Structure 1
Amino acid sequence: MNGPDVIIIGAMKSATSTLAAQLGAQSGVFLTNPKEPNYFSDDDIYAKGAAWYGGLFAQAHADDIRVEASTHYTKLPTYPATVARLKATGLTPKLIYITRDPVARLISHYIHEWTQGVMTCSLEEALERHPELVDYSLYGKQMTPWVAAFGADAILRLTMEEMMEDPHSVLARVGDFIGRKDLAWRDDLGRMNVSSERIKRFPMHGLLFDNPVAQTLRRTLVPKALRDRLKAKRQMPVRPELSASARAALETVFAADAKVLNDHFAQDSGLNPAKSKDTA
């Protein structure tokens, strides 16, 4: 099966898009389009078959390092078949797992879903209604089937915090892991997929707001004061915060899971447990 040499497997809202963009900008590295095919996780995409997935890499040169990045691959229990499907192919890609402070990731996840109109309630109410907010931050739980199937040595564990603090060193670690010593961080690319404005999207949002023609017409015909008022109605006014009790309860859960994660990577002494610098 034609497939990847490297897969960035998550975690969601942990700078996976930024790292994928950096790799895709390197000479001799081929990044799939779409960047995030979610082939092994999503049933409807998996049904497209191995030929479809292999075709994503058809334009790669023979000596390219082929990369894809799908955060759905570490979204248990939502996508339970991912690891078994990849294992069954016989492929043995190198795997990169990026995490961040689990509470910060959870909040950024909630903001993302709020902008998409998926979660319309408060953050703490969403914790009750949407257990995936916590599940996807249980990094030890997410890594358990991956380590069992491919071994800890096949997985490079990074944090978003260390990438923000010293991106050049992080990319050098990635290069060592994938067998490329010449990777160079592109400062001009910036961060990808950052929802700093926290603007709620809706059907036809891309056509009405992201389209250059629509942008020109809107700026020409609609007074700025009115545009600002309309934007404010779609904007999350302040970043949501957890109550002290809710945060304490979550930190107890995440501390227990962190032990599971560290046990999986007991030999990994290079991880920098930097404090969160959440900006989403």
Structure 2
Amino acid sequence: MTTSGPLPDFIVIGAMKCGTTTLAAQLAAQAGVFMSTPKEPNYFSDDAVFAQGQGWYEGLFAQAPPGALKGEASTHYTKLPTHPETLARMTALLAAPKLVYMIRNPVARAVSHYIHDWSLRVVGDDAEAAFRSRTEFVDYGCYGMQIAPFIEAYGRGAVLLTCLEAFQTDPVAEFARVAAHLGLPEGVAWQEGLDAQNVSGARFRRLPFQSVLVDSRAARALRRGLVPKALREKIRARRQMTARPEIPADLEARMQARFLEDRAGLAQVFPGHPALDLCYPFRPA
């Protein structure tokens, strides 16, 4: 293992749609902490990004102030089986990073994942068809399966398990747990003024050629000059999902059974962890 530049001290490794963007924003707001831009470089997971080389990755942390703890947050790192090379690449470069794995109710996560993909036009309006055909909605919520390889590679002490529900209940206390695990400087604290980031309910469906026809400065100027505001808002509202999709009862029951089976593995690694109750309200009493 050879390095020529700065590397992260810690990584938020997932899971997708579990609050990692908000956590990364909170970490970035702390004195003595430097977070990468982009927030999700996905260096170890995505082949095209990894091909840019170690120098590119080290460059993400080159502007960190002396003594600052450096971190990144890439949810692709816990997306098995989609990105099978992630851990081998990570262990080849990072000897002992601190890891944070953030989870949530896996059924709710799957719904948020669907909304995310719907907004990107990866899936259509038929939520039932999407849930029945796309295995990643379940796979990415099998947290025990996803985290086990990291535990084996880096040890239980390297990984902090946290969950969205804990942050929703007591963000100050839960952020203090994260800070202690990462070894953040004294005085860091949850910033009440920062809004939740990347919320699924705030997503709008992308339009064909959106970068040219919608997002460009010229397109924005034309819309404001030619299209009445009321009409713009009406069109925008049609691109937003107004109600969270429902999973058919039979399919949800099968999903819950799979998640509970996976939970048993998670409980073996994190026995008695509060997330085991908070994230699985559908577990039989």
TM-score when normalising by structure 1? 0.91
Change (3 A) 1:143 1:31: same
Q: Match of 2:151?
A: 147
- RMSD between superposed Cα atoms in Å: 2.1
1:33 aligned partner: 37
Q: 1:112 aligns with which of 113, 116, 120?
A: 116
Mapped pair 1:183 → 2:188 = yes
Report if the CA contact (8 A) 1:171-1:183 is conserved. Answer: no
What is the distance in 2 between the residues matched to 1:186 and 1:175?
13
Aligned with 2:242 (options 215, 234, 237): 237
In the TM superposition, 1:1-280 aligns within 5 A as 1=3, 2-180=6-184, 181-206=186-211, 208-210=213-215, 214-215=219-220, 217-266=222-271, 269=273, 271=275, 273-274=277-278
State the 1:234 CA deviation: 2.2
Provide the secondary structure at the position in 2 that maps to 1:189. Answer: coil
CA positional deviation for 1:236: 2.3
Question: Which stretch of structure 1 is more off in the superposition, 148-157 or 201-210?
Answer: 201-210
CA separation in 2, counterparts of 1:261 and 1:275? 12
User: What's the secondary structure of 1:248's corresponding residue?
Assistant: helix
Counterpart amino acid of residue 51 in structure 1? G
Measure the CA separation in 2 of the matches of 1:114 and 1:269.
33
Q: What code does the residue aligned with 1:196 have? A: G
Deviations 1:63-91 (A, max 9, x none): 10001000000000000011111111243
Cα distance in 2 for partners of 1:163, 1:90 equals: 28
Structure 2 unaligned spans of 5+: none
Deviation for aligned residue 1:49: 1.0
Confirm or deny: 8 A CA contact 2:267 2:273 kept in the other structure: no
The code of the aligned residue for 1:202 comes to L
Moved more, 224-233 or 29-38: 224-233
Q: Percent identity?
A: 46
Give unmatched runs, 5+ long, in structure 1. none
How far apart, in 1, do the equivalents of 2:274 and 2:112 lie? 26
Aligned with 1:92: secondary structure?
coil
Give the structure-2-normalised TM-score.
0.90
Report the residue type matching 2:150 in the other structure.
Answer: W
8 Å CA contact retained: 1:175, 1:182: no
Q: CA deviation at 1:170?
A: 1.0
Misfit runs of 4+, over 6 Å? none
Residues 210 and 88 of structure 1, relative CA distance in 2, 3 Å threshold? same
Q: 1:77 to 1:157 in 2, by over 3 A?
A: same
Give the distance between the partners of 2:158 and 2:152, measured in 1 at CA: 11
